[in-house]
Chains A and B, each alone.
Chain A
């Protein structure tokens, strides 16, 4: 048995299709939806925890990919360059998971990397390019 966390990106045309449900029915995978959003670009985003046999997991992933879902492992690959961040707060309302949030006392913008789902919306939107993707 393995447990994995992954981020699924659904293009707009797939957003309301019952793709994930098939993972239980056809691949015996248990899943737990940790987060689900529609981003400003109208792309669907879902963070899933999948549990099952390794072989079923591989098949499930193949199935998702073949239906047009982009898959990304959930790792902490988004970091904030602290010397570049000016704590403006323009990223706060566009981050779908509140991983970027204003501390109401200090008025600084905190980055909670455990909440980040690596959707990359902030990467180009940050005016000082403080948010960086690391592979």
Chain B
């Protein structure tokens, strides 16, 4: 048994033992659970993939004379931002698109530029054009603003993502006879391919399936900087069906995360275009898991062949919200490049980059080893299996 405070002491003394969620697998196999749990203090996890409920808020500073962008309209490189705050606070969402984007009018739309790309370009140090219009008040008389902004000049630039880090995800196939363009990538007709989106054995919430260490206030690697778990993510759903090892079959828990965008790097926050679907942001996240006891070491030793996901048809079941799956498959099978579905061999594709996830886990490991990153005790837990918290569908009501 260890505490986070003890682990932090070891980090400060340079004596901490950190391994990645991949390395712990071999270690537990070689040395046994007991010994591995004693020796290892921290396991680092990682994930890198498109996460649509992401975005950033900015305070851009007051112009002279002053303008109240709050309640007005504002665009960054033609991408509209949300202005429903005070005068100079705006929020840019990852999936926002310019008003003149052709969308899916020429199907499948290319969605070459949007909110996610603006975030990436800010991180690259590029100048971004800000255009705003306002209605003008006695205290904020100006009605128009057209200027360049850049990340270093902003007062605050904070990445605040409402839902990241899904604990497992669907495997998408297409049972129809036409090609589909989805957020899960291009799906060829008649089950031509199966696409998945999870780092599997490296993924944060798959290594802590019951949220025993990851909670509100957990310090994390976020986009190359330091961030925090702010809350459970939207659509957090701890009550999905799980295997004996605690790992959910379906998308389960999620995280809302926050961190200073100015510390982050464009290689870990990338504007992403999904053909026929839209734009988004690929986010890199790494979460450290303190190995407080054997049970946690056991959870961290989970491997790809023990993590199963449901295969879902994206031609009917998913868009129509119909229940039912076409079966389940584990990440070892998915990562082999081929899976078997109803007697047919199908090639697999991934949206989540395992090699980037591994780089993140390694990077976080090196931060901890160097003493640059201390673990934090969560201030409150995430809603767990017993909490009754769940993800409900919308009940549409008749407008009278």
Q: Which residues of A contact B (CB under 8 A)?
A: 40-41, 86-94, 101-102, 104, 106-108, 124-125, 127-129
Q: Mostly helix, strand, loop or mixed at chain A's interface?
A: loop
B356 at the interface (CB under 8 A from A): yes
Which B residues are in CB contact (< 8 Å) with A40?
179, 186, 188-189, 192
| 9 tightest A-B CB contacts, nearest first | A93-B193, A89-B350, A93-B347, A93-B349, A107-B354, A90-B185, A127-B272, A88-B353, A107-B355
- Compute how far the CA of A127 lies from the CA of B356 in the bound complex, rounded to whole angstroms: 15
Asked if residues B337 and A102 are in contact (CB atoms below 8 Å), the reply is yes
Q: Name B273's contact: one of A91, A102, A107, A129 (CB within 8 Å).
A: A129
Which A residues are in CB contact (< 8 Å) with B351?
88-90, 127
Supplied contacts A101-B337, A102-B337, 16 more A-B pairs, CB within 8 Å:
A40-B192, A86-B282, A88-B49, A89-B353, A89-B354, A90-B195, A90-B349, A91-B349, A93-B193, A107-B358, A127-B50, A127-B185, A127-B273, A127-B274, A127-B351, A128-B270
B110 at the interface (CB under 8 A from A): yes
Which B residues are in CB contact (< 8 Å) with A101?
337
Which B residues are in CB contact (< 8 Å) with A127?
50, 185, 272-274, 282, 351
Which A residues are in CB contact (< 8 Å) with B185?
90, 94, 125, 127
Listed by A's residue number, 5 A-B pairs whose Cβ atoms lie within 8 Å are: A86-B270, A93-B188, A93-B349, A127-B50, A128-B271
Asked if residues A87 and B356 are in contact (CB atoms below 8 Å), the reply is yes
Which A residues are in CB contact (< 8 Å) with B349?
89-94
A91 to chain B, nearest CB (A): 7
Asked if residues B337 and A104 are in contact (CB atoms below 8 Å), the reply is yes
With contact pairs A104-B337, A107-B355, A107-B358 given, residues A90 and B350 touching in the complex (Cβ less than 8 Å): yes
B218 at the interface (CB under 8 A from A): no
Which B residues are in CB contact (< 8 Å) with A129?
112, 273
Q: Name A87's contact: one of B193, B195, B353 (CB within 8 Å).
A: B353
